[in-house]
């Protein structure tokens, strides 16, 4: 882990919390942890929390002062339940935060900026998608808004990192579906995996699955994503982009069966609600670049990751 002053933006979300758990109590590392609404849960002598709305440029300028490394995880979730209620605001607000944090970081001349993009920006193709394929055609309609938001922010990153007189090093990651214990389990906000974990742990009858359960996902545990970030922090000195994922996908039905088995829920009743919005069926992402250049290999199996989520939710149920 490189010594220095770190800014973790979005510090109370899934990736922000994961980062704090890895950075806490590390020698020669100081952390500014920026949060907005969700309350902090990880505390240590080297972590200073700052409540700030990153849609305000002055706040962005203030939080990056004296910072060496920015981990930009702040975003408005683009989950199916949230997009169904409001298809626009999450894109607008996330774009504002990204663009203003990049500007503030650039003028502060930070040493490195890490940004989590999204594989939603990729076009719909039958071929395996490499990093070079992002701008070859539009994203699928279901991902059009968030996909283009990711693409535009990536273009800004490339500008700040390659097109200006005094560029700053920026590394972009395009993850598949990230999961972990510190996700939102609120049905109004959650992704499919934490929603299913909650339904199983609460022994809901019936368990309602959106769609037919055949959509497929490549799921990567949040701690593994942070491993990739650490490798990039240490090895990459300039602008670069990496796909990050496991390389194995599962249908929603397969994921649900895994959760049911792990929680020993034998008499579950499953109902498929095909009126609910769902995402695309599947896409195949290539991870050869991150394996070759960063020697990255995910460590957490799906069963181990889901077991951690089940145990965590049992200890932190939503009342």
pLDDT in tens, 284-314: 999 999 999 999 999 999 999 999 999 999 9
What band does 78 get if pLDDT is binned at 50, 70 and 90? low
Q: What is the pLDDT of residue 226?
A: 98
| Lowest-confidence region among 5-14, 86-95, 202-211 | 86-95
59 phi and psi, to 5 degrees? -65, -40
Q: How far apart are the first and last CA of the chain?
A: 38
How much is the pLDDT for 190?
86
Per-residue pLDDT for 209 more than 70? Answer: yes
The set of long-range contacts for 50-57, using a CB threshold of 8 Å and a minimum separation of 24, is 54/9, 54/96, 54/97, 54/100, 54/101, 55/93, 55/96, 55/97, 55/100, 56/100, 57/100, 57/103, 57/104
The arrangement of secondary structure in 4-183+218-247+283-300, i.e. its CATH architecture, is 3-Layer(aba) Sandwich (3.40)
How many residues would you count in the chain?
Answer: 319
- 231, 136, 280, 175 alpha-carbon torsion, rounded to 10°: 10
Q: Rounded CA gap, 251 and 218, in Å?
A: 9
Q: How far apart are CA 59 and CA 230, in angstroms?
A: 26
Supply the pTM of this predicted model.
0.94
pLDDT in tens, 238-282: 999 999 999 999 999 999 999 999 999 999 999 998 887 666 667
Specify the higher pLDDT residue, 90 or 266: 266
The predicted pLDDT at position 50 comes to 98
* DSSP annotation of 266: -
Residue 143 confidence (pLDDT) above 90: no
Domain boundaries, the chain: 4-183+218-247+283-300
């Amino acid at each position: 882990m490189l010594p220095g002053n770190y800014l973790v933006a979005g510090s109370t979300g899934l990736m922000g919390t994961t980062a704090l758990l890895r950075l806490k109590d590390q020698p020669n590392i100081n952390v500014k942890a920026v949060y907005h609404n969700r309350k902090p849960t990880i505390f240590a002598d080297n972590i200073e929390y700052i409540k700030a709305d990153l849609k305000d440029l002055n706040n962005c300028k203030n939080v990056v002062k004296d910072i060496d490394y920015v981990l930009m995880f702040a975003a408005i979730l683009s989950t199916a339940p949230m997009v169904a209620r409001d298809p626009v605001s999450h894109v607008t607000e996330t774009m504002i935060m990204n663009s203003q944090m990049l500007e503030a970081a650039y003028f502060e001349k930070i040493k490195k900026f890490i940004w989590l993009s999204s594989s939603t920006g990729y076009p719909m193709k039958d071929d395996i998608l490499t990093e070079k394929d992002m701008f070859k055609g539009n994203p699928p309609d279901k991902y059009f808004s968030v996909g283009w938001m990711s693409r535009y922010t990536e273009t800004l990153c490339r500008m700040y990192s390659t097109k200006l007189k005094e560029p700053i090093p920026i590394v972009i990651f395009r993850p598949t579906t990230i999961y972990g214990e510190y996700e939102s389990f609120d049905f109004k906000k959650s992704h499919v995996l934490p929603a299913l974990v909650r339904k199983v742990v609460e022994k809901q009858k019936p368990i309602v699955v959106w769609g037919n359960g055949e959509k497929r996902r490549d799921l990567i545990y949040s701690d593994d994503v942070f491993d990739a970030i650490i490798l990039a922090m240490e090895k990459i000195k300039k602008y670069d982009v990496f796909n990050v994922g496991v390389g194995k996908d599962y249908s929603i039905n397969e994921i649900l069966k895994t959760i049911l088995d792990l929680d020993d829920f034998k008499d579950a009743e499953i109902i498929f609600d095909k009126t609910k919005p769902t995402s695309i069926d599947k896409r195949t992402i290539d991870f050869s670049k991150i394996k070759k250049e960063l020697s990255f290999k995910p460590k957490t199996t799906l069963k181990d990751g889901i077991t951690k989520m089940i145990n965590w939710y049992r200890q932190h149920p939503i009342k």
